[in-house]
Amino acid sequence: MPPVVLQLRGVSRVFAGGSEPIVAVDGIDAEFLAGTFTAILGRSGSGKSTLLHLCASLDRPSSGAVIVDGIDLATQDDDALARLRRTAIGLVFQFFNLMPQLSIEENALLPIVLERAPTGADLARLAALIERLGLSSRRTHRPERLSGGERQRAALARALMPSPRLLLADEPTGALDSTNATAIARWLRDLAHDDGVCVLAVTHDERVAALADSVLRLDDGRIVGIESRRGTTAP
């Protein structure tokens, strides 16, 4: 069996609300394997983004444990978590979050530059990723000159530069037309199947879900359904 990349053990996240606390994520147990693509579906407010932020180490659970590649994130200080996000965890968002003053190539290289001086091997990987994602003719362009689909592929290149074991995407196709949405969903699937990345994508988009190995449905912060073709388990 492929290794477990992400483990959630009794994960809850409670926000202090107005009169009553809001339980955004409510006792989630699940495991996600290398080489699998999981879609997380659920209505608005069901806790999808909160859960993804916990997996991304951008937030800490109120209780329970988030374990990435065997590391319990609770044991890591903020600097260590920031490093983990630059090395082991790739993040993709709905609105791309590219730096407007940098070219596509410079955006993609950013996670490396924040860590260390890029090596020849980094530059070769950058060129290969840009080529593979069909961005060669756009590599010196700034994001404003690109289409939505190209921007999301550039954001994928940036997320993949450090060779993450875990790729987390929040509504990655939310701002794209149908053709580009399907293309991005195929990329996510291929990254899992061909490169062994553990991919989780929060989505409203059934076309994304149709390409996933597993579909995990959330409601009120709980798993209410799991359809698994391979690789994701929950009790």
Ligand X SMILES: Nc1ncnc2c1ncn2[C@@H]1O[C@H](COP(=O)(O)OP(=O)(O)O)[C@@H](O)[C@H]1O
List of residues contacting Mg ion (CB under 5 A):
48-49
Answer whether 39's CB lies under 8 Å from 215's CB: yes
Which range, of 41-49, 60-68, 70-78, 147-155, touches ligand X by CB under 6 A? 41-49
- For the bound state, the minimum distance from the C-beta of residue 13 to ligand X, rounded and expressed in Å, comes to 8
- Residue 47 is a binding residue for ligand X (CB under 6 A): yes
- Residue 95 is a binding residue for ligand X (CB under 6 A): no
| Structural tokens at position 4 | 């477990």
Q: Which is nearer to Mg ion, 48 or 85 (CB)?
A: 48
- Residue 24 is a binding residue for ligand X (CB under 6 A): yes
Q: Which is nearer to Mg ion, 53 or 151 (CB)?
A: 53
Q: Which of 4, 14, 22, 102 binds ligand X (CB under 6 A)?
A: 22
Q: Which is nearer to Mg ion, 36 or 49 (CB)?
A: 49
SS3 letters across 98-163: CCCCCCHHHHHHHHHHCCCCCCHHHHHHHHHHHHHCCCHHHCCCCHHHCCHHHHHHHHHHHHHCCC
Please list, in sequence order, all residues whose beta carbon lies within 8 angstroms of the beta carbon of residue 64, skipping any fewer than 6 positions away: 8, 9, 10, 11, 12, 27, 28
Answer whether 197's CB lies under 8 Å from 3's CB: no
- For the bound state, the minimum distance from the C-beta of residue 103 to Mg ion, rounded and expressed in Å, comes to 29
Task: Tell me which residues touch ligand X (CB under 6 A).
Answer: 15, 22, 24, 42, 44-50
